[in-house]
Amino acid sequence: MIHAVLAFDDERDAAGALAQALGVPLQLIGRHRFPDGELRLTLPTPLTGDVVLYRSLYQPNEKLVELLIAAPTARAQGAARLWLVAPYLAYMRQDIEFSPGEAISQRHIGALLARTVDGLVTVDPHLHRIASLDEVMPGCCCVALSAAPVIGAFAAAQRQRPLLLGPDGESVQWVQGAALAVSPSLDHAVCEKVRRGDHDVQVTLPAGLDLRGRDVVLVDDMASTGRTLVAAARLAFAAGAARVDVAVTHALFVGDALAQLLAAGIGTVWSTGCVPHASNAIDLTPLLAEALQQLVA
């Protein structure tokens, strides 16, 4: 049985919604930053039973340090088991050694987290060359949820029978999951992408795809620089799309990414609350709460 949700003040709202869904109190971790940048954390005490620690790992480096301090402190204050809810799980993209000497960050961060908590609930982790999080976090109870069905239902409620379009081949699982969540299933397709650099991508539409007069929703797991989505949107408009919107799980949107999307003619950007952003419109709290209840039972 879960007894409390721990969180930091910058995620009070999201963690509070989860605590309310679980029917347990939200307890905040105090933070003090010393002049040299070190952190002093103060946890509520005592803690008992199963405790949820909510920390989404966007802009992850300092947050990982917080976890390394907060988790053993929670155990010292009485938490029997500690369950990390990290809606965005960082360092999952670097899953192989692309060139000699590169650190396989996914493997190392996964092992670190597996030693720190008893279990993890996350959403749409960037796993493309491994089968599951169990390979990344051995010995840890992991649940990787997909926001795709919720995104599909949301898009269908916002637009009349939209066509869901993935900006690249890696997005196929989210596009299909979103399209098939609606009955009858939504039309969907996936673009092809060649990436030449972090800000240089070439995208092509699948052959024979008719977008004339269609409402198109670009669907992906994350938007970082936004360049792939911009390229896909421009192609969709050139092919006759009446409207193009975007729905993503993780709204990272670094730099001028969101401005670039709007400049490309995209109407509305919707995202889940996994990463706090002005575009947050899709609530995954019920999904997270249900997964935790099943995990802890």
Mean pLDDT of the chain: 94
pLDDT digits (tens, 9 = 90+) for 103-121: 999 999 999 999 999 999 9
**Confidence tier at 10 by pLDDT (50, 70, 90):** very high
pLDDT tens, position by position, 201-214:
678 998 899 999 99
Quote the pLDDT of residue 102. 93
Read off the DSSP letter of residue 251. E
| pTM for the whole structure | 0.93
Strand positions, DSSP E, 14-58: 26-33, 39-42, 50-54
**Domain 2-146+283-296 - what CATH class?**
alpha beta
Percent of the chain whose predicted confidence (pLDDT) is above 70? 97
Domain ranges of the chain: 2-146+283-296, 148-273
Confidence of residue 197 (pLDDT cuts 50, 70, 90): low
Equal fold, 2-146+283-296 vs 148-273: yes
Fold classified for 148-273: Rossmann fold (3.40.50)
β pairing state of 280-282 and 163-166: unpaired
State the pLDDT confidence band at 151, using cuts at 50, 70 and 90. very high
Q: What is the pLDDT of residues 61-117, one digit of tens each?
A: 999 999 999 999 999 999 999 999 999 999 998 888 888 999 999 999 999 999 999
Residue 199 has pLDDT above 60, yes or no: no
Q: What is the pLDDT of residue 201?
A: 63
Whether the predicted pLDDT of 11 surpasses 80? yes
Q: Which two tokens stand for residue 189?
A: 């397709």
Span 236-247, pLDDT tens digits = 999 999 999 999
- Token match 């105090």: residue? 30
Q: What percent of the chain has pLDDT over 90?
A: 86
Q: Where are the alpha helices (DSSP H) in the chain?
A: 12-22, 60-76, 105-116, 148-158, 172-180, 227-238, 257-263, 285-296
